[in-house]
C-alpha cells in the first residue's frame, strides 16, 4: 500500500489505514 513517499506520509501511516489517510491530504 505504501506506494507513496513514506518520508512525507510517515505520520499518516501511524494512524493505521495508510491507504485512506494520505488521500485526506
3: its cell numbers: 506506494
Predicted confidence band at 24 (pLDDT cuts at 50, 70, 90)? Answer: low
> Considering the entire predicted model, what is its pTM?
0.12
What is the percent of the chain where pLDDT is above 70?
0
3-class secondary structure per residue, 5-24: CHHHHHHHHCCCCHHHHHHH
Backbone angles phi, psi at 9, to 5 degrees: -100, 10
Predicted confidence band at 4 (pLDDT cuts at 50, 70, 90)? Answer: low
CB atoms near residue 2 (< 10 Å): 11
- Give the pLDDT confidence score for residue 20 in this predicted structure: 61
- Give the pLDDT confidence score for residue 3 in this predicted structure: 62
Q: What would the mean pLDDT of 1-22 be, rounded to a whole number?
A: 59
6 three-class SS: helix
23: its cell numbers: 488521500
Amino acid at each position: 500500500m505504501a506506494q507513496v513517499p513514506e518520508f512525507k506520509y510517515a505520520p499518516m501511516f501511524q494512524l493505521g489505514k495508510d491507504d485512506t489517510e494520505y488521500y485526506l491530504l
